[in-house]
Amino acid sequence: MGWNNKGAYYKRALSLLEGPIGGKIEDFTNNAGYTFRMNMQTGEFGIMRPNGVVETFYRRLKDPAAYWAEQVAKYGK
């Protein structure tokens, strides 16, 4: 994926977490203010803390739609 260094990883995470929603990008914010996003096409998944810090970012290759549904059920409103 081209994440050969921390800078590239962080840039890609911010691209998902701060970029536009819609199309293949799913999004929700939980009651604690954490933003969850997933690109259903690439499998990229990320969580951002309420203060704008990236909590986690990775690529989920196996059935992204099912994984997203689990996250919504577990952490969604």
Instruction: Give CA–CA dist 15/8, Å, rounded.
Output: 10
Domain 6-75 part of CATH 3.30.1120:
yes
Side-chain half-sphere CA neighbours of 32 within 13 A: 7
For the chain, the first-to-last Cα distance in angstroms comes to 32
Inter-residue contact 19 to 26 (CB < 8 Å): no
DSSP state of 38: E
Beta bridge partners of 26: 38
For residues 25-33, average pLDDT: 96
Q: What digits encode the pLDDT tens for the residues 30-71?
A: 999 999 999 999 999 999 999 999 999 999 989 999 999 999
> What is the reported pLDDT for 76?
87
pTM over 0.85: yes
